[in-house]
Amino acid sequence: MKLLVKNLDIASRGVLLNRADARSIGVLDGDRVQVMNQKSGVSVAAFVETTSTITPQGTIGVYRFTNDRLHLDDGNEIEVREAARPASLDFVKKKMDGGKISKEEMLTIIKDVVSEDLSSAELTAFIIASYINPLDMDEVEHLTRAMVETGEHIKFSSRPIVDKHSIGGVPGNKISLLVVPIIAASGLKIPKTSSRAITGAGGTADLMEVVANVEFSAAEVQKMTEKVGGVIVWGGATNIAPADDRIIIQEYPFKIDARGQMLASVMAKKFAVGANLVVIDIPVGQNTKVASMQQGRKLAREFIELGERLNMRVECALTYGDIPVGRSIGPKLEVIEALRVLEGSTEPNSFIQKSLSLAGIALEMSGKAARGTGMDMAQDILRKGKALEKFRQIIEIQGGDPNVKSDDIIPGEHQFVVNAPSSGYVIEMNNQSLITLARIAGAPHDPGAGILLHAKKGNLIKTGEPLFTIYAERSWRLQKAIEDGRRLMPILVEGMLLDRVPSLSEY
């Protein structure tokens, strides 16, 4: 059917059909039509929404993402027909039925994911099927390679290329801000792409954005890394393994991180930037993604096996994930803490030790440091100010102010100190509640929002002493955080009243 174009600035891969036209074409809301620019010959599939008024019969509303490849102007005549069912649905079905997906089938699925030819429901089906019927290592390898192939890659002229990754789940995990400068200062190359928070209070990209630009193309990442040895950028802007972002968004409602997809997504990003030495941080703890050491070791072995299949050397560090890393949660607060350590502070210990351990592993893998001496070398680089110097170079090449100091960064002006209601040891810190509270206060969208911990698990604290401070950029968000904080109780002090149950009637 021929229809006239009316461009609509709606950020989705849809079209808006008059109901009569939809009926004629034989499609319902949510169905797919094939839309063809007859001049250029370019054709894309788009999802149908319908109206009786906004587009009259004979006219089609073309949403923004649909027009990204079509380049249609208002009034153009285009051909619209019912779209064929993507072949990848048959492969998704195969996985639902417990079958094994071949290399070619996996590539077809991931191509359709990247081109957005699968609806969010169809992609969800793939994720759920792979969650229930887990991908085996062959399928994970296929998925990894398909993710790499459907995005951009970087080829460095010399090796080794180092990379690190934390699988997440622990608040305040700002270690890349130390690890990357240390590795780069040692003379190694580390092109670190990182994520923004989806469910967290701040991804590494959100943190780095406090002091520099984080949106660069893959080519720019390569150029900058060649120059200063390292970068800390947002992976989402590079178009490296773009399938991953789409998969993660669909996993979000179910709070899952399907094992196969997780392995593939981490390793695809490392593979695509050309890394051949990779350190993986696996936080283990009740409130993280990996609950026990046993599970952590199993996951580590899988990362290592997948690395071997891809000709990458992988080492994994199982780390303590029950409580936050350091004392800060939220972009600006975390950057302040990291800068202070780079500037010479010897606190907080948990943050420094973890960062040095991971950097040390990479230094040993590369041969820069002898076995058993990597951490010392990392500490030396940090103490001598070489990591700070390198971090400033990285900030500068990413368009930030290289002279920024920790004191220049001002967190949210609205603050509330929560004091200990009773004396005793801090017996419990709930990662999830801390993240939730930081988000209610505005993190990561408001970079100054977050939580600063004054006591950590095991500390002895007296009644009335500060337990933590909530920071916010907007007073109403602070108010909401204060209210919800009472319910969330993210930190428990021994002897603290957990709840009070009133008697049914008072005599």
Q: Which is nearer to its own copies, 149 or 215 (CB)?
A: 215
3-state helix, strand, coil in the chain (%, to 5): 40, 20, 40
How far is the C-alpha of 101 from the C-alpha of 140, rounded, in Å? 10
Q: Which is nearer to its own copies, 119 or 469 (CB)?
A: 119
Contacting residue, 187, 253, 372, 502, with its own copies by CB under 8 A: 253
Name the burial class of residue 314, with classes exposed (0-12), middle (13-18) and buried (19+) by CB atoms within 10 angstroms of its CB: buried
Task: In angstroms, give the least distance from the CB of 335 to its own copies.
Answer: 21
Task: In angstroms, give the least distance from the CB of 98 to its own copies.
Answer: 8
Q: Which is nearer to its own copies, 26 or 495 (CB)?
A: 26
Q: Which is nearer to its own copies, 75 or 134 (CB)?
A: 134
How far is the C-alpha of 364 from the C-alpha of 356, rounded, in Å? 12
How far is the C-alpha of 43 from the C-alpha of 39, rounded, in Å? 11
| Contact status: 248 vs its own copies (CB under 8 A) | no
How far is the C-alpha of 57 from the C-alpha of 463, rounded, in Å? 72
177: phi then psi, degrees, rounded to nearest 5: -65, -20
Tokens of 501: 């149950």
Site for its own copies in 254-283 (CB under 8 A): 254-256
Contacting residue, 128, 231, 275, 333, with its own copies by CB under 8 A: 128
Task: In angstroms, give the least distance from the CB of 93 to its own copies.
Answer: 5
Task: In angstroms, give the least distance from the CB of 138 to its own copies.
Answer: 20
Side chain identity at 473, as an amino acid letter? E
* Interior angle at CA 52, CA 51 and CA 58, nearest 5: 90
Contacting residue, 3, 5, 15, 16, with its own copies by CB under 8 A: 16
HSE-CB for 331 with a 13 A CA cutoff: 29
Task: In angstroms, give the least distance from the CB of 294 to its own copies.
Answer: 19
Task: In angstroms, give the least distance from the CB of 283 to its own copies.
Answer: 22
Q: Which is nearer to its own copies, 348 or 450 (CB)?
A: 450
Number of CB atoms found within 10 A of residue 31's CB? 16
| Contact status: 119 vs its own copies (CB under 8 A) | yes
Q: Which is nearer to its own copies, 118 or 381 (CB)?
A: 118
Tell me the per-residue interface mask from 132 to 171 with its own copies, x by CB under 8 A, - otherwise. xx--------------------------------------
How far is the C-alpha of 146 from the C-alpha of 154, rounded, in Å? 16
Q: Applying CB under 8 A, which part among 85-93, 361-369, 380-388, 426-434 lies near its own copies?
A: 85-93
Q: Which of 257, 322, 380, 484 is catalytic?
A: 257
3-state secondary structure at position 226? helix
Tokens of 47: 């999802």
80: phi then psi, degrees, rounded to nearest 5: -125, 130
Task: In angstroms, give the least distance from the CB of 477 to its own copies.
Answer: 10
How far is the C-alpha of 97 from the C-alpha of 87, rounded, in Å? 16
3-state secondary structure at position 345? coil
Tokens of 54: 């906004």
Contacting residue, 39, 85, 159, 405, with its own copies by CB under 8 A: 85
Binding residue count for its own copies, defined by CB under 8 A: 46
Q: In what order do the strands lie in the sheet with 162-166?
A: 162-166, 277-284, 313-320
**Residues 341-372: b if buried by 16+ CB within 10 A, e if exposed:** bbeeeeebebbbebbbbbbbbbbbbbebbeee
Contacting residue, 298, 301, 445, 462, with its own copies by CB under 8 A: 445
Side chain identity at 149, as an amino acid letter? E
Q: Which is nearer to its own copies, 50 or 379 (CB)?
A: 50
Q: Applying CB under 8 A, which part among 101-109, 127-135, 347-355, 421-429 lies near its own copies?
A: 127-135
Task: Name the pairing type of β-strands 460-461 and 162-166.
Answer: unpaired
Tell me the per-residue interface mask from 18 to 57 with its own copies, x by CB under 8 A, - otherwise. -x---xx-x-xxx------------------xxxxxx---
Contacting residue, 121, 410, 498, 504, with its own copies by CB under 8 A: 121
Task: In angstroms, give the least distance from the CB of 128 to its own copies.
Answer: 4
For the question of residue 257 being annotated catalytic, the response is yes
Task: In angstroms, give the least distance from the CB of 136 to its own copies.
Answer: 16
| Contact status: 101 vs its own copies (CB under 8 A) | no
How many residues are given for the chain? 507
CA-nearest of 220, 219, 216 to 234 is 216
| Contact status: 124 vs its own copies (CB under 8 A) | yes
Q: Site residues (CB under 8 A) for its own copies?
A: 8-12, 16, 19, 23-24, 26, 28-30, 49-54, 64, 85, 89, 92-93, 96, 98, 119-125, 128-129, 131-133, 249-250, 253-256, 439, 445
Where in the sequence numbering do the catalytic residues fall?
257
